[in-house]
Amino acid sequence: MAELRIAVIGAGIIGGTHMASLEKVEGMSLSAIVDPTDAAAEVAAARGVPHLRDVEELIASGLADGAIVATPNETHVPIGEALLRAGIPALVEKPVANSIDEGERLLKTVEETGVPLLVGHHRRHNPMIRAVRAAIDDGSFGRLVTANVIATMAKPAFYFDVKWRIAERTGGPLLINMIHEIDMLRFFFGEVAQVTGRVSNEFRGNPVEDIAAAILNFRQGGIATLTVTDAGCGPWSYDLSSGESPRLPRHDISAHLYAGTKAGISLPDASFWTYPGTPDWAVEMQRGKLDFTPADPFPLQMAHFGAVIRGEEKPRVSCADGVANMHVIAAIKQSAAEGRPVDL
Ligand SMILES: NC(=O)c1ccc[n+]([C@@H]2O[C@H](COP(=O)([O-])OP(=O)(O)OC[C@H]3O[C@@H](n4cnc5c(N)ncnc54)[C@H](O)[C@@H]3O)[C@@H](O)[C@H]2O)c1
């Protein structure tokens, strides 16, 4: 089968991760870099691929069987729409859009064109996350009852020199980080029915939150609590313990705790907790391990994108998923602003 030619639009941090992933996946290769900067021209020269200035040039070039949109949030929808209208399948980074209205517009374009779009919530491709989902499906947990999720990240001052990271519609740890946790929780529990949120910017004083807490009630039952901060010290976050990001250290802790009616699990250490008989808090629980083979989710996401382009698989994280995750984040902010729970 002919090799799939993949263009990377946006040669920044995550664009670089996608380029590295392309090298690890058979049957796919980098065909062009689309980014107006001189730095991107150097990256393209170093990788021996054409350097193009914008998505229109890419479409005219005919160089892409698929394209990855790794640009700032506000460009995801215009670039995504241009690709879909040109019949080019897209892997669009999270958050899928800059606003819910734009996200809904993109979703409509996916439906109108029938061209597939995958959203870059890469954790869903992690074999550990897929093993948890499989264990939910085979009844190993019983029904999921609660989740406790924490994301503590001490981001350095220079991180906030980049304007979009502190701008209201684009920045803040809810949209930058917690949206991945929301995607995981929706993957495990299903859709969210009601959200209660609290946010504060008391530590950094930026226009966006530096702490947030949320309670999610799920339609099929179960409650999750989440806290996130980019101003507190502590290793308790999935990003600082899963080893998924080559840019971040890995600490031996867990940041997600899930309790079901039959068993519990902590992630990412994947300890699987069961009772020897009928559940009874007076009996010591047994600690096992979830069975899976660890692997980097980014190349797996890329291989899945290849299968999506070839029409062999449907996007595991659809545009509708990306928009649903944004609805939950918006509801957390709305609940915090209005001081009341918000129904979804
Ligand atoms: N999945 C993840 O875990 C993950 C991690 C980091 C970033 N992201 C997402 O990826 C996106 C990019 O983030 P980043 O940290 O790599 O940003 P970045 O600033 O490092 O890189 C963005 C690049 O896009 C280029 N660009 C800007 N406008 C463009 C346009 N119209 N056409 C082509 N190129 C353009 C810029 O020149 C820059 O090189 C964001 O939406 C972010 O939320 C996702």
pLDDT 10s digits, 264-283: 999 999 999 999 999 999 99
Q: Is residue 308 part of a domain?
A: no
Q: Which two tokens stand for residue 272?
A: 């699987």
Ligand 1, atom 28, lies closest to the CA of: 71
Say whether pLDDT at 204 is over 80: yes
* 40 Cα–ligand 1 center, Å: 12
The residue length of the chain stands at 344
How many domains in the chain?
2
Listed residues 86, 115, 144: the one ending a domain: 115
- Alpha-carbon distance 331 to 325, whole Å? 10
Q: Which residues line ligand 1 (CB under 6 A)?
A: 9-15, 34-35, 37, 40, 54, 70-73, 75, 93-94, 120, 122
Domain housing 11: 4-115
Please give the helix or strand (H or E) that residue 174 lies within, else none.
Answer: none
pLDDT of residue 170: 87
Banded pLDDT at 209 (limits 50, 70, 90): very high
Regarding whether 229 and 101 lie in a shared domain, the answer is no
Q: Is residue 241 part of a domain?
A: yes
pLDDT 10s digits, 157-201: 999 998 989 998 889 999 999 999 999 999 999 999 999 999 999
Regarding whether 161 and 101 lie in a shared domain, the answer is no
Regarding whether 263 and 234 lie in a shared domain, the answer is yes
Ligand 1, atom 43, lies closest to the CA of: 94
* 10 Cα–ligand 1 center, Å: 5
Nearest ligand 1 atom to the CA of 15 is 16
Regarding whether 100 and 71 lie in a shared domain, the answer is yes
pLDDT of residue 247: 87
Contact at 8 Å (CB) between 177 and 147?
no
Regarding whether 246 and 161 lie in a shared domain, the answer is yes
Nearest CA to 6 among 208, 19, 17, 16?
A: 19
Q: What is the pTM of this model?
A: 0.96
Nearest CA to 105 among 314, 316, 306, 326?
A: 326
Regarding whether 248 and 198 lie in a shared domain, the answer is yes
The CA distances from residue 233 to 35, 255, 342, in Å, are: 35, 14, 30
Question: Which residue out of 8, 9, 14 has the highest number of ligand 1 atoms within 8 Å of its CB and is therefore the one to mutate?
Answer: 14
Banded pLDDT at 110 (limits 50, 70, 90): very high
Nearest ligand 1 atom to the CA of 37 is 37
Please give the helix or strand (H or E) that residue 44 lies within, else none.
Answer: helix 38-47
Ligand 1, atom 5, lies closest to the CA of: 14
Regarding whether 187 and 334 lie in a shared domain, the answer is yes
Q: Is residue 187 part of a domain?
A: yes
pLDDT of residue 169: 85
Contact at 8 Å (CB) between 6 and 26?
no
Contact at 8 Å (CB) between 174 and 199?
yes
Banded pLDDT at 246 (limits 50, 70, 90): confident
Listed residues 92, 115, 138: the one ending a domain: 115
* 133 Cα–ligand 1 center, Å: 29
